[in-house]
Structures are given as C-alpha cells and as structure tokens.
Structure 1
Amino acid sequence: MEIGYGIGRRVSAWAVHAFTGSGAVLGFLALFAAIDGYAAACLGWLGLALVVDGIDGTLARKASVGDVLPQVDGATLDLVIDYLNYVVVPAVFLYRFGLFPEGFGLVGAAWVLLTSLYCFSRTDMKSGDAFFVGFPAIWNVVALHLWLLGWDPWANAAIALVLGVLTFTDVKFLHPFRVRRLMTLNIAAAALWLLGSTALVLTHPERSGWALAAWVAGSLWYAAVSAWRTMRHATP
C-alpha cells in the first residue's frame, strides 16, 4: 500500500534536495575562481561545498527524503555534484596553478578525471563498515594539500599517480561522518582539519602555528585510521 505524505514533509524533503543541489552552484563558483586565477577563493568555495556534502546526508535521513520523494535518487544527485566538486574543479585547479610539471598539466588532469570515473562507478565503493574501498577521488583535499605544501611539481605528479592507482585497490579510506567506530573522534579530527585548512588558506602564504598544527593533526588522524582499517583483517 502506498504511503502518502503531507505537504510539509514534501517541502522539507525538497528543501534537503535543494540544499544538496547548492553544492553544484558552489562548484560553479569554484570553477570560475580557478579559471580567473584566484586559488584561495576556489578552495574557499570548495570548502563550503565540502561542508554541504558532509551534512546533507544527515538532513536527508532526518527528513526521510528517500521515502517522501522516492522518484528522486538522492545518492545519484550526490554523486553528480561530487564528481564536479571532488574531481572536475580540482583537476582544473591542479592544471591552472601549475601543480603538475610543465608540459604535463593536461596529462595530469586527464589522469585525475579518468581514474575518478572508475571510483564513482565501483559497485563496492564502500565496505560493510562504511569505509571507502580504494582511493575515494577526494582530489579537492589533495589539491589543497599540494597547494599549501608547495612541493616540486614532479613530486605532486608522483602522488597523483599513486592515488589514481589506489582507486583500483582494496585500500580503505575513512569516511568521518559514516564510520561508526570512533565516530566522535573522527568528526572532531575532521573539524580540526577543516578549521586549520580554512585558516591556512585565508592567511596563505603565511602559516600560523596553531593552524598548521590543527591541519597536520587532522590529516594524520585520517591517514592513521585509514591505514589501521586497511591492515586489520576484516570482511570487506
């Protein structure tokens, strides 16, 4: 028997979808900031999009969006926006700001775009305990790190090469808002990383001591939990 929902529930559900959809607008603004040469502004828009992506799932579950609006697949909507913000805009950023070696910018951007397609199309993208399986195409985070660190473009290319290859492996990566084990600490580390990242972008090229410490601590926690999950013997 079909269950009907009142206008209030439907409005709430559409509001959540609209909130999710705002990520596409933020990605559009980030793209134009990159094209115009404003690195910090691009990362700022991507940061806002990251926040939207981090909390829209919780809002969708609270509003029972899947039940109220079954004709709209929120997961597909999320993936479309994620490919823009996590892959396309970062690929443009890496190319536009010379983070790949001279003459290899288009090759590097193509590598990011193509390997990410297979990440997004994996049927086993998530493990049973909500870890990502393989590199989850978080190129927005990678672009931020490479820009802030200012390493040699060849080192950046090597990192991109390795991460792209990891797309096709069973290496586990933490999803701080979905993994239940140590969730409080995972979210705290993500918040610490976001706070440090924001401060470092706003003050670039200066590096505040506390911001750098927060950024490094959050990054190390993410890497450590991901490595721990990869190495422990558990069901996929």
Structure 2
Amino acid sequence: MQKLAAWSVHIFTASGLLAGFMGLLAAVDGDYRMAMFWMLATLVIDGVDGTFARMANVQEVLPDVSGKQIDYVIDFFTYAILPAYLFWVAIDMPDTPRLLGSFAMLLSAAIYYGLEGMVSADGKHFVGFPVLWNMVVYVLIFVTPDLAWPLVLGFVVLLAVLHFVPILVPYPSRGGRWWVLTIVNTVAFIVLAAVNVWYYPEPVAWARWATLVTVVYYTVLTVMDTATVRRK
C-alpha cells in the first residue's frame, strides 16, 4: 500500500508534463487563453506535489526513484520551453527581437538549472531570479498586453541576466520574512491569474492592477531580503 501511494505521487508529479503538453497544443492552435489555463494547472501541480511526497514518504518507500529529477524534467518544459514558445507566438513584436526574447528565456533557464546552489542555505530563497518564465509570459500577455515591444524585450533580457545575480527571491512555501503575507500574496496572484485569463481578451482593470501589486510585493521583499543578507 505504501508503494502504491508513493507511485501515485510520482505519477501525479509527472502529470504536470501532460498538462504542459496540452498547453503546447493549445498554443499551437492559437488558443492562448487555454494554453495559459493549462500552464496554471502545471503550476498548481508543482506547488502541491512536494506536500504529497512528504505525506507518502516517497524517498524511503521508493529510494531508487528520484522525484527531484522528475521535477527537473517537467519544470524545464513547463517553466521554460512552453513559455518561450508562447512568447514567440503570442507577443506582438518583430521576428528578430521576438526570437531573441525566446532564446534569452531558454538559454538562461538551461544554464540556471546547471548551477549548484539555486536555493539558499536556509532553503527560504532562490538565489538569482528563478526559472519562472511561465509567470513572466502570463504577465506580458494577460496583464500588460499593450506594453511597447522594446520594453517587453528589455524586461525579458533583464530577468535573464538576473538569473545569475545573487539576489534572494522568496521561496513562498518555505517560510521567511512576512511568511503568512507572502502566502496570501501568492494565492492572490494565482486567483488573479485565473480571473485575467478567464476574461481574456476582455480587460479586467482591477484584476490587472491587483496583479501588478502582487508583483511589486515580491520585488520589495526580494530587495529587502537581499539587502539584509548583504549587510550581515
């Protein structure tokens, strides 16, 4: 029974790849709304599978199966490849800068995954901007669709560079400064994402502005945590 539960958790984790593939099919069909819904589904799966893994004690029950490696495979597709493709097909800009933006996402993500120490010693922060291109593309398409393309490209390049700058980005599920508020902010971001995507392409002004507030919160927290560590 323990092995069945442990395998069920791994299969649940792997289902994130199926959701990502469905997102890719939707993006190929030009259904960006459905593509993003599938992308949000992968985010939810990735957010809760670790809790299920600890409940089922998968490391001890199935020591020869690495959930972390399964996660890496799925995450690279859903957090990098799929968003880079969605950026290519859905962002309105000339072909060359659009390709450069997709390349910046893929190259920075590939190298970032090869680095040691992507998470801080206390486990409460990502070191450098984490591979969250799915959420970046969500904001660009569904929250700030009218942003001028040079600003879009500049924003993408900046985040690609920040992969390799030792800033400390909050890891919401692992505690840290203002942890409860951070969890609330994270839940709000996901709920607002569902609202913005549901009503797309009709703009929902309050939901878009509220989304930007949640992004500003993470930015402020990153600056504060990074500055605190540097002072120490």
Tell me if both proteins adopt one fold, taking TM over 0.5 as the criterion: yes
Unaligned runs of 5+ in 1: 1-7
Q: CA deviation at 1:227?
A: 1.7
Q: CA deviation at 1:122?
A: 1.3
| 1:97-116 matched pairs, under 5 angstroms | 97-116=90-109
In structure 1, which of residues 23, 28, 32 is the aligned counterpart of residue 25 of structure 2?
32
Deviations 1:25-63 (A, max 9, x none): 000001111111111111100001000001111111111
RMSD (Å) for aligned C-alpha atoms: 1.8
Provide the aligned length of Structure 1 versus Structure 2: 229
1:198 aligns with 2:191: no
The letter of the residue matching 1:89 is L
User: Measured at CA, do residues 199 and 132 of structure 1 come closer, stay the same or move farther in structure 2, by a change above 3 Å?
Assistant: same
Runs of 4+ with deviation above 4 angstroms: none
Scaled by the length of structure 1, the TM-score of the pair is 0.91
User: Could you tell me which residue of structure 2 aligns to residue 3 of structure 1?
Assistant: none
In structure 2, which of residues 37, 40, 49 is the aligned counterpart of residue 44 of structure 1?
37
Q: Counterparts of 2:44 and 2:106 in 1: how far apart (Å)?
A: 22
1:159 aligns with 2:155: yes
Bigger helix fraction? 2
Higher alpha-carbon deviation: 82-91 or 128-137: 128-137
Q: Counterparts of 1:100 and 1:135 in 2: how far apart (Å)?
A: 24
User: Could you tell me which residue of structure 2 aligns to residue 172 of structure 1?
Assistant: 168
Q: CA deviation at 1:208?
A: 3.1
The percentage of counterpart residues that share the same residue type is 32
Deviations 1:114-161 (A, max 9, x none): 111111111110002320001111000000111120111211110111
User: Measured at CA, do residues 137 and 99 of structure 1 come closer, stay the same or move farther in structure 2, by a change above 3 Å?
Assistant: farther
User: Could you tell me which residue of structure 1 aligns to residue 180 of structure 2?
Assistant: 184
Scaled by the length of structure 2, the TM-score of the pair is 0.92
Q: Counterparts of 1:98 and 1:207 in 2: how far apart (Å)?
A: 16
Unaligned runs of 5+ in 2: none
1:81 aligns with 2:74: yes
User: Could you tell me which residue of structure 1 aligns to residue 126 of structure 2?
Assistant: 132
Q: CA deviation at 1:65?
A: 0.8
